[in-house]
């Protein structure tokens, strides 16, 4: 089945979103606000889909969607839907995305791309076939759209750090530190695929490759589950995914990266910290201070060297000029608006947006290699 990839002329692009929980809320505010701040094609929030009719109807009304639906298959068959935004859990990504692409819809899917390499590969094949028909697709690694991180990538690409030698990257949360925290689908391998590895290490792996413009070539990894049983609806249940993960990565350009992620790091709420060390300079970033970037110019005289704080709120910093006067900070939710902006511009221009499904697959391959390394206690080549 194929359909038109979008309306002709200046008619609005109709958007459907599948899923309405945490990510659905974040994406909804982006769809509502993007045209108020950026020069993008006009969109209309046509329909929000979810399994529970009452809850999805309430969410649609709250988040600004014109309609609610319970069958995503009916939604993607609609002629007035041109973009499908998938915020459903990972085990549903492949089926929905492939069907939507085959129906001629542009597709944005939340990270990680899917729960398995096989599913990810099928999604890439569908995306490539759709791209040949002018249908675009993108995976939602929203932290690429943090202005400070986009600016860090620019500094690295411009050679301000010289040759990058090493990266330290961690993503620490504590929402599972309490042993009495209940079971959720995120703690079952059959629904989540993996734990902290796929959930937050996917962001870290993408950032390492994005910032350096490089690719991982081999990995050594370890996974650990600290709380092996949690209270479920029918009594205690086994946790079948990891609580934390560690990895050492080699990159094609010669840099080495250490990665640590955890969902049981007490006191860390949402701390994505990245440090990049080069021959001529260094950078440091922490998501809990997302408007700031630390930069060290190693070419300055030794007596003057030291990390300096850059407040990334100037109009010539990435994305920032669309928002507020200099010095006025933006927040976590703005990254999703920037993501939607980039996706819509790519659709308008007939360009391939980034990160593509192929880039999402590269992240999945690294995650799978970390899991294999943790099982075999061997380094894995990609």
Which residue matches tokens 């990995």?
219
Instruction: Answer yes or no: are the C-beta atoms of 70 and 4 closer than 8 Å.
Output: no
For residue 275, being part of any structural domain is answered with yes
For residue 262, what are the domain limits? 147-289+291-330+362-376
Please report, for the domain that includes residue 78, its CATH number. 3.40.50.720
Residue 224 and residue 319 in one domain: yes
> How many angstroms separate the Cα of 218 from the Cα of each of 4, 39, 184?
42, 41, 32
Using CA atoms, how far residue 162 sits from 126, 205, 210, 302, in Å, is 39, 21, 17, 17
Mean pLDDT of the 47-76 span: 97
Query: Does residue 99 sit in the same domain as residue 189?
Result: no
pLDDT in tens, 98-114: 999 999 999 999 999 99
Answer yes or no: do 273 and 152 share one domain.
Answer: yes
**42, 205, 17, 22: which is closest to 108 by C-alpha?**
17
| φ, ψ for residue 8, nearest 5 deg | -85, 160
Q: Is residue 382 part of a domain?
A: no
CATH of the domain at 309: 3.30.360.10
Residue 347, domain member (yes or no) = no
DSSP state of 11: P
Q: Quick one: pLDDT at residue 2?
A: 45
Output the pTM of the full model: 0.95
* pLDDT tens, residue by residue, 344-377: 999 999 999 999 999 999 999 999 999 999 999 9
* 323 neighbors 305 (Cβ within 8 angstroms): no
């Amino acid at each position: 089945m194929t359909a038109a990839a979008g309306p002709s002329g200046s008619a609005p692009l109709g958007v459907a979103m599948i899923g309405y929980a945490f990510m659905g809320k974040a994406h909804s505010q982006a769809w509502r606000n993007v045209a108020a701040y950026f020069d993008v094609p006009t969109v209309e929030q046509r329909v929000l889909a979810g399994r529970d009719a009452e809850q999805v109807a309430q969410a649609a009304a709250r988040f600004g969607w014109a309609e609610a639906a319970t069958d995503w298959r009916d939604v993607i068959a609609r002629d007035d839907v041109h973009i499908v935004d998938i915020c459903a859990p990972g085990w549903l990504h492949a089926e929905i995305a492939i069907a939507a692409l085959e129906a001629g819809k542009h597709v944005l899917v939340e990270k990680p791309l899917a729960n398995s390499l096989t599913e990810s590969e099928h999604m890439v094949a569908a995306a490539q076939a759709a791209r040949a028909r002018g249908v675009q697709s993108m995976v939602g690694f929203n932290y690429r759209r943090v202005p400070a991180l986009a600016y860090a990538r620019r500094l690295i690409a411009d050679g301000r750090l010289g040759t990058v030698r090493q990266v330290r990257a961690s993503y620490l949360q504590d929402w599972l530190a309490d042993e009495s925290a209940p079971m959720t689908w995120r703690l079952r391998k059959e629904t989540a695929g993996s734990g902290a590895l796929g959930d937050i290490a996917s962001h870290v792996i993408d950032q390492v490759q994005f910032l350096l413009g490089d690719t991982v070539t081999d990995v050594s990894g370890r996974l650990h589950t600290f709380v092996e049983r949690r209270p479920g609806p029918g009594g205690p249940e086994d946790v079948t995914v990891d609580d934390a993960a560690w990895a050492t990565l080699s990159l094609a350009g010669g840099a080495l990266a250490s990665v640590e992620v955890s969902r049981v790091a007490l006191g860390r709420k949402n701390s994505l910290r990245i440090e990049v060390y080069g021959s001529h300079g260094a950078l440091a970033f922490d998501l809990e201070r997302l408007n700031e970037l630390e930069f060290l110019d190693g070419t300055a005289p030794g007596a003057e060297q030291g990390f300096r704080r850059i407040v990334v709120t100037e109009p010539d910093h990435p994305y920032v000029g669309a928002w507020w006067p200099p010095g006025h900070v933006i927040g976590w939710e703005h990254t999703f608006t920037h993501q939607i902006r980039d996706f819509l511009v790519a659709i308008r221009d007939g360009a391939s947006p980034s990160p593509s499904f192929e880039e999402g697959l590269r992240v999945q391959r690294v995650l799978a290699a970390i899991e294999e390394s943790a099982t075999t206690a061997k380094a894995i080549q990609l």
